Amino acid sequence: MIVPNSGQSRCRSLAAAALVLGICPHPGVQGQVDALRRFEVEARENARGFEWLNWSSAHIGHRLTGSPQGVRAEEVADSLFRLCGLPRVSFHPFNAVAWSRGSVMLRLSDGTDTEHLAAVALAQTPDSADVEGELVDLGNGLAEHFARLKDRVAGRVVLMNIGLVEAPEGTGNLHRSEKAALAIRHGAIGIVFVNNVEGGVLLTGTASVDGAPIAVPAACIASEDGQRIRERLRADAPLRMGLRMTNRTGNVQARNVVAEVPGSDLAHEVVLVGGHLDSWDLATGATDNGLGAFSIVDMARAVVASGHRPRRTLRFVLFMGEEQGLLGSAAMVSDLQAAGELARVRCMINLDMTGDPFGFGVAGPEGWAATLDPLMDPIRDLDTAFRSTLREAAWLHSDHQPFLLAGIPVILPLCDLGGHVYGCYHSSCDDVHLVDPMDMVNNVRFVGALLLQLADAPTLPQVFTEAELGARLRAEGLEEKLRMAGLWRW
């Protein structure tokens, strides 16, 4: 429920929120109320994010890094930031090895008949591959499944679920790239993933845990085909799977798009909000991650239009190359470190497939959860649908990861977009019809309100020390995942 725009209770809530925010440089509750109201009105009543996403879906299509569409998306984002009046807009170029798909063919044989299956290749698979071997079902593809069947994996093609199927409650899943790494480590010559979404949906995504090309072909088939194959395997039918594919891997130059609102008395400190602009090539990437990317542009617009100047510098970043291995965010962190500028970044907020947040997750050293907790109260005062949920947890596999591994506290909006959205990510059905425009409006309203509070807080807690970071990652059970990626240094 939206709190009414007028009335005594609304004024008291806004006044309390403004006092927490400290967003008005002049004394007086009314000035603070006005500043908060201006941002809320801009975010809620003058929203443009869905309009821009809809245009992008129709006129750009997918935004694969290194493709002509990816380049156009970079240029459009740059233009939008400038049209929104951001005083500082620039490209952050980086060089990367980018992958694009060619052809793929899967053939299933029982020794008498051969069947060709619909499939899509996973990224970072070989430019050329043609293998055939006995098919072995690894179920959910977790470490315990490999341990149980380790003697049957070498020299064979493995079948694994993308998600978890019939797993005990509380079982943690692995990223598809981590499952691929386990398969390669155990000597598999090919990998076939089964999507868990019904309706013949095929899913793509990276099969590389470290962003480098992998040595074996990996592809995804539909849930229905996976079920049929498993029924035959359970009947003790010996099956062989052949994978043939061609892809293209080469050097490209891509650009992160950066816009800033300079701060006032704490301008040397930066609060960064980012999300990836790139998407896979099977559809338009509307939910992954046009939803987050164009919300960020609209958030920047609303800050500028509100007329508020924050104490700390606000930096809005649209990353390229996330889908192919966090390429743009890793390049930015590396360049900031080399320039001695990373210490300016006090925290990073990541919008990746977020919409209508109900709270925030935070991974930071002591003090960060306690800092965020009261900052959610003014958001709930603005809209009682916001539940003020706070979780302390660390996640991987999105653009916050390079910042986190460099010791920067990270914040992720918590949301539930629904199975119809999560079932279409990285697939041919990820289009704008899945996006609720109000999800984007509330991205801007709720994340933007938190952003302003962090920018104007008197002080912010410290970043991670190296020892604190290692201890936190180990406590979160992330050591083995980071070891697989060659990123564990503790």
Identify the weakest region by mean pLDDT among 26-35, 305-314, 369-378: 26-35
- Mean pLDDT (the chain, rounded): 92
CB-CB neighbours of 468 under 10 Å? 15
Sole residue written with tokens 């199975």: 419
In the prediction, which pLDDT does 213 show?
93
Distance CA 206, CA 324 (A): 6
Q: CA of 186: how far to CAs of 155, 175, 205, in Å?
A: 9, 17, 22
- Does 212 score more than 60 pLDDT? yes
Q: Which tokens is 58 given?
A: 């129709």
Measured distance CA(389)–CA(275) in Å, rounded: 21
pLDDT confidence of residue 393 = 95
Q: Look up residue 408 and give its two tokens.
A: 């920067």
Q: Which of 75, 121, 399, 434 is nearest to 282 (CA)?
A: 121
Convert the pLDDT of each residue in 106-117 to its tens digit.
999 999 999 999
Cβ-based burial of 172 (10 A; exposed 0-12, middle 13-18, buried ≥19): exposed
Question: Is the pLDDT reported for residue 118 higher than 90?
Answer: yes
CB under 8 Å, gap of 24 or more: what pairs does 337-340 form?
337/406
Domains of the chain: 47-87+262-484 (3.40.630.10), 99-250 (3.50.30.30)
At residue 261, the 3 state secondary structure works out as strand
Residue 35: per-residue pLDDT:
64
Radius of gyration of the chain (CA): 24
Tokens at 87, concatenated? 């005083």
Distances (CA, A) of 166 to 147, 170, 228: 19, 11, 17
Quote the pLDDT of residue 34. Answer: 66
Pairwise CA distance, residues 155 & 131, whole Å: 10
Confidence of residue 9 (pLDDT cuts 50, 70, 90): very low
pTM: 0.92
Section 173-180 average pLDDT = 96
Phi–psi pair at 245, nearest 5 degrees: -150, 155
**Banded model confidence at residue 25, pLDDT cuts 50, 70, 90:** very low
Exposed (0-12), middle (13-18) or buried (19+): which is 25, by Cβ within 10 Å? middle
Q: How far is CA 468 from CA 76, 108, 143, 239, 401, in A?
A: 40, 50, 27, 50, 16
* Residues in contact with 146: Cβ distance below 8 Å, sequence separation at least 6, in sequence order: 138, 153, 182, 183, 186
Beta carbons of 18 and 453 less than 8 angstroms apart: no
What pLDDT score was predicted for residue 38?
Answer: 84
Average pLDDT rounded to a whole number, residues 247-263: 96
Q: Which of 431, 296, 408, 304 is nearest to 354 (CA)?
A: 296
Q: Which residue has the higher pLDDT, 10 or 455?
A: 455
